[in-house]
């Protein structure tokens, strides 16, 4: 017989609060068109994006995260001292170590929480949410802060016609805590590393350091390959998440997919046969693709504008570089 005592966590976990931060500078398509040969009509028809937010020098990954975190903690009715874990998903924090989560934890006033970063691209929020749920249920933390944050303007090649118009900056955060009944469903997640070349950094940092290339590394992608994968394969994953949660599309109130592209979102809605009563997040139009931040930012806006309400059942799915994905059904805070 094992001498190890069982964990004493909560029976289930839930999202208790949500917060977001969008940089003050709003960048319309006209600015993007200064460096690429395209048109506003082309950008809107291909992506649905009209504007995006770009951070200024003061709006660092840490600063944006602190703002979003503060709102999420307040929305949850907690104090920073109660936060026992901080998980940050980002690909645009340029210090390899220490984890930016430790600095954010200190800045918000959390008391010695577990703090670490993850790199799962546009699926990062789903990965972080799943890890936080495990921490709460396992009992290693009662309340966990999950942050998705990006400054993708730092990794955007403004002369790349395929990607220059896509990316934006921002931070979204949620607090995960104990629940007496299931409020975060089983996660359907995974990776397809054989497709890693479809979304990637152009060159390693060492190539730039060693002078092998003159241009700073940027994010690039094979647009058509990503579109086909997202529409056909991710719709299947979304359906698997519904099945795992034991609900049907008719029982959904809200659909919050990664805000990558309006055409991808609309195609997924059609493939999933979502009924008209389901509210669909289309934050990409004014925020652009903010990778790990896109789902919590979209969630925060839907709740703030009244398009979604507390207690609604929402399907969330993130997908991106890796290629990686994560989908689950949640009850909105």
> Could you give the residue numbers annotated as active site?
122, 258, 289
Task: Name the token pair of 70.
Answer: 């503060």
- Burial string for 225-249 (b: 16+ CB within 10 Å, else e) reads ebbebbbeebbebbbebbeebeeeb
- Burial string for 263-283 (b: 16+ CB within 10 Å, else e) reads ebbebbbeebebeeebbbbbb
Dump strand ranges (E) for the chain. Answer: 12-21, 25-28, 51-54, 85-89, 114-118, 144-151, 169-179, 188-191, 199-201, 219-221, 254-257, 279-280, 313-320, 324-331
**Distance (Å, whole) CA 40 – CA 49:** 9
């Amino acid at each position: 017989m094992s001498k190890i005592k069982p964990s004493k966590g909560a029976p289930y976990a839930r999202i208790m609060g949500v917060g977001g931060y969008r940089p003050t500078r709003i960048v319309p398509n006209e600015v993007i068109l200064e460096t690429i040969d395209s048109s506003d009509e082309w950008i809107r028809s291909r992506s649905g994006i009209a504007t995006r937010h770009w951070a200024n020098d003061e709006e660092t990954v840490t600063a944006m995260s602190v703002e979003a975190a503060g709102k999420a903690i307040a929305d949850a009715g907690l104090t920073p001292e109660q936060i026992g874990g901080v998980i940050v998903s980002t690909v645009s924090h340029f210090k390899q170590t220490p984890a930016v989560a430790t600095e954010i934890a200190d800045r918000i006033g959390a008391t010695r929480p577990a703090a670490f970063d993850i790199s799962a691209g546009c699926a990062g929020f789903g990965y972080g949410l799943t890890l936080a749920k495990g921490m709460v249920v396992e009992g290693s933390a009662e309340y966990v802060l999950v942050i998705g944050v990006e400054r993708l303007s730092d990794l955007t090649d403004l002369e790349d016609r395929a990607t220059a118009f896509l990316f934006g900056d921002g931070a979204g955060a949620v607090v995960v805590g104990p629940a007496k009944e299931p409020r975060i469903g089983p996660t359907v997640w995974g990776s397809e590393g054989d497709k890693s070349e479809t979304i990637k950094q152009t060159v390693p940092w060492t190539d730039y350091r060693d002078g092998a290339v003159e241009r700073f590394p940027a994010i690039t992608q094979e647009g058509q390959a990503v579109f086909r994968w997202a529409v056909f394969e991710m719709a299947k994953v979304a359906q698997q998440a519904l099945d795992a949660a034991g609900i049907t599309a008719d029982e959904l109130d809200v659909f919050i997919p990664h805000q990558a592209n309006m055409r991808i979102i609309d195609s997924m809605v059609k493939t999933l046969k979502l009924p008209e009563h389901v509210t669909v997040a289309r934050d990409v139009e004014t925020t652009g693709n903010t990778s790990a931040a896109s789902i919590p930012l979209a969630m925060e806006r839907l709740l703030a504008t009244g398009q979604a309400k507390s207690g609604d059942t929402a399907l969330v799915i993130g997908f991106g570089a890796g290629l990686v994905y994560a989908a689950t059904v949640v009850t909105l805070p």
